[in-house]
Amino acid sequence: MPRPSIAEVSALIADLAALRRSQDRTSTEYAALMDRKADLLERIAAHTPGDTEAAEVARLARERADALKSAN
């Protein structure tokens, strides 16, 4: 699992902001963005062994992203 880059984190934050401002966002777009977020958080947690908080945040993000995928 590759270590996430600052560019990836910045791109995700920019995409989150753009989606929040969008008047015509779809649930599919939101689910895809939450999947990217979960992936990024899982990669961060994988590269910070012993950080239980990072692992828990990643786990919760993955649960939410999977639930959104199931709803679509």
The pLDDT assigned to 13 comes to: 96
pLDDT tens-digit readout, 7-56 = 999 999 999 999 999 888 899 999 999 999 999 999 999 999 999 999 99
C-alpha closest to that of 58 among 31, 34, 27: 34
Q: Token pair for residue 20?
A: 């929040």
Specify the pLDDT at position 1. 82
Residue 4 and residue 38 in contact, taking contact as beta carbons nearer than 8 Å: no
Coil, strand, or helix at residue 3? coil
In the prediction, which pLDDT does 48 show? 95
Q: Report how far residue 59's alpha carbon sits from residue 3's, in angstroms, rounded to the nearest whole number.
A: 17
pLDDT at 71: 85
| φ and ψ of 61, to 5 deg | -65, -40
